[in-house]
Structure 1
């Protein structure tokens, strides 16, 4: 199992409470996931990703939150231009490189990960859900 697969599923742990979100849209699982992780002894720092992985436009969101959100999307081969723009803006600012150069480098990585999404999603869909 790849790191992106483990990360994507760990941040979606709240879907164990909201089973309909396993195959559909919604955000109710996010805070539920953070609460589940905290209840089971996971420290607040990593547990927060369950709640912040779709909140990239919130004030105070750090680069690590953006990257976790990006991993969650690209695992399913979903490209989110606003999120990708936020991710490339910070390295571009830090390095002085144009944002488009950072974007090209990121796009190559995202394409490589996203290309395998159909297989991951097919496997996920093949696992029976018992609620």
Structure 2
């Protein structure tokens, strides 16, 4: 008999809107923890939005080097520490950030990959990477939230690499983010369908 647990449904079931599958190593990790189903649904949603952003960025600015797979892994695990600090699934808190990084390191993931769990809220920090900006942006816009300061940093990085005017990059990125935000209600409904 197939497993129809809420966690399995959050990881594998078709969704509306359609969502990409999480990387196999992340799916295995979430099953092994076991992660709360709502956390798995959230990670799947942010991962999907990050993939859309990364695909757009690769086509829009091929001269901007970034590690697409690292960004997608980061999006798929950015809140994994909420498996430990479950109160932060439905309330505020940042204890999950360092806990998530430590959890990933303890499970054998590299510092390069584990860092996203601790840095996804630090998008204004010096030296933030393009990958971290993509994860931070995906973690906001999946639910329709727009953060001008964050988006302006990303616009600046893209404009510099593309040799374009920031206003032109802003217009194009804004159009993409608006299209993504248009589905926010459906994504929020999907996440809310799973128990904490």
Query: 1:61 and 2:101 equivalent?
Result: no
Residue 97 of structure 1 and its aligned partner are, at CA, apart by: 1.4
Tell me how far apart the structure 2 counterparts of residues 77 and 20 of structure 1 sit (CA, whole Å): 23
Residue 48 of structure 1 and its aligned partner are, at CA, apart by: 0.7
Q: Deviations over 1:19-73 (max 9, x none)?
A: 1211223222111111111111222111111111110111221111111111111
Query: 1:114 and 2:181 equivalent?
Result: yes
Q: Which runs of 5+ in 1 are unaligned?
A: none
Cα–Cα, structure 1 residues 24 and 9, in superposed 2: closer, same or farther, change >3 Å?
farther
Matched positions, count: 129
Q: What is the TM-score when the length of structure 2 is the normalising length?
A: 0.61
User: Is the contact made by 2:141 and 2:181 (CA closer than 8 Å) also made in structure 1?
Assistant: yes
Tell me how far apart the structure 2 counterparts of residues 22 and 115 of structure 1 sit (CA, whole Å): 23
Cα–Cα, structure 1 residues 9 and 20, in superposed 2: closer, same or farther, change >3 Å?
farther
Q: Which has the higher contact order (CA 8 A, sep 6+)?
A: 2
Q: Which runs of 5+ in 2 are unaligned?
A: 1-18, 22-43, 48-74
- Output the aligned Cα RMSD: 1.7
Q: Deviations over 1:88-118 (max 9, x none)?
A: 0012122231111101111111112222121
Q: Which one has a bigger Cα radius of gyration?
A: 2
